[in-house]
Amino acid sequence: MALYEPFPNYIWNLSVAIAMESGAQLGEIIDMCQPIKDAAASGADAGTPMFMKAWAAMGDKLIALAAEDEAKGRGFSASNKLERASLYLITAERMQGHGHPGRRETYARAREAFDRSTVLGQLNRERVEIPLMVGTMPALYTRAPGDDRKPVVVFCNGLDSCKELLYWTRLPQELARRGISTLCVDQPGSGEALRLQDLPVDPHSENWASAAVDWLERQPDVDLKRIGMTGISLGGHFAPRAVAYEPRFASGAVWGANHNWREVQDRRMAREGENPVPHYWAHVHWAFGAEDQEDFLTKSEAMNLNGHMDRIKVPFLVTHGANDRQISVKYADDLYDQLVNSPRREKLVFTAREGGVEHVGADNMAYGRDLISDWFAETLGGHTA
């Protein structure tokens, strides 16, 4: 299995691959990428304004086409186009540096298209706001079918994702098929929490994960004894940390281990491994609310799971891609080896045999999605058939 690589740099190719795994149409991908191939040759950072222009233009075209569908009463078709429009606009916005002209407006159009798509498509997702000590945590709630109380999984972002991208992994849909609801969260340092509220990363993820559980406890359709937690990319730090310190979680999993992210920063300063987004250091300063590099490195010291994982006393699944170019597979070994008190610990490293070998399955999310869905069905009392 290989990452689709139309550009000469990893970061641009990663964004394209994520978009394709999130529901993009190949013809639209080609139309957006073809005119900006030369710009990519200047480096991952330099050509991003052209990237945004091309991808935002496709998003805006789809919004206009969706309006034509809606005027004809074709709500489902309009929703389909708005869904892709939102995806392309979010991808365009995600590639820009903090404070780049037009970034805020592009994000606003993406959110508006996403929300309109939810209504027109009658999609199984509800936007909710979870109170935090400061501000709120925006989230998307996808309900499993049926009137009885259901298990639920809290699904958190990585460094540079958002709740919409979490929804587009289709993990919520697969969990719903298995009788499990999903709460996709924009935790502090990500998505709306960062962009609209300036809430920085909290390495002690139990603080906001516990707030998510508090909110779930007030929902009449939730089985309070069957709440799980997972995360993607840097969520491979947040989810294990939350499960270790929040005793109400009954199961956990990571889609990509991120056992010692502070150590990863030293390697990135030495130019070892790939970055996930352009303008990387400016992004992490923004996400952590850091004044400069020294302040960021200080704030990121707590992004290390060593000495904490023996607190996990529930089932826990570790997954990783064998060819992850950002985060070494050795961190999956570290996490698994330290789950000494988990009554059921499992580790699966995806290889070329099945795919999903790149960072969080950017080359193929199908196997990670299926495995994690089945894991929670087995450990939270859902069903796999």
**Digit-coded pLDDT (tens) for 334-345:** 999 999 999 999
Arithmetic mean of pLDDT, 356-371: 96
Arithmetic mean of pLDDT, 232-243: 98
* HSE-CB of 367 using CA atoms within 13 angstroms: 22
What pLDDT was estimated at residue 373? Answer: 98
Q: Which helix (H) or strand (E) holds 150?
A: strand 150-156
CA distance 325 to 327: 6
pLDDT band at 188 (very low <50, low <70, confident <90, very high): very high
What pLDDT was estimated at residue 272? Answer: 77
End-to-end CA distance of the chain: give it in Å, rounded: 27
Q: Strands 136-142 and 126-131, how do they pair?
A: antiparallel
- Name residues whose C-beta falls within 8 Å of residue 19's C-beta, 6 or more positions apart in sequence: 29, 87, 88, 91
How would you class 70 by CB atoms within 10 Å of its CB: exposed for 0-12, middle for 13-18, buried for 19 or more?
middle
Amino acid type, 89: L
Percentage of residues in the chain having pLDDT higher than 90:
93
What pLDDT was estimated at residue 213? Answer: 98
pTM above 0.85, yes or no: yes
Residue 2 has pLDDT above 80, yes or no: no
CA distance 209 to 225: 16
pLDDT band at 270 (very low <50, low <70, confident <90, very high): confident
Q: What are phi and psi of 142, to 5 degrees?
A: -110, 120
Lowest-confidence pick of 33-47, 90-104, 232-246? 33-47
What pLDDT was estimated at residue 45? Answer: 84
**If you count them, how many residues does the chain have?**
385
- SS3 track for 304-324: ECCCCHHHCCCCEEEEEECCC
What pLDDT was estimated at residue 39? Answer: 84
Arithmetic mean of pLDDT, 307-332: 97
pLDDT band at 225 (very low <50, low <70, confident <90, very high): very high
Tokens of 329: 């597979």
CA distance 381 to 196: 37
pLDDT band at 374 (very low <50, low <70, confident <90, very high): very high
Residue 273 has pLDDT above 90, yes or no: no
pLDDT band at 383 (very low <50, low <70, confident <90, very high): very high
What pLDDT was estimated at residue 38? Answer: 85
Helix, strand, coil content of the chain in percent (nearest 5): 50, 15, 35
CA distance 58 to 61: 5
In angstroms, what CA-CA distances link 145 with 177, 219, 251? 8, 15, 21
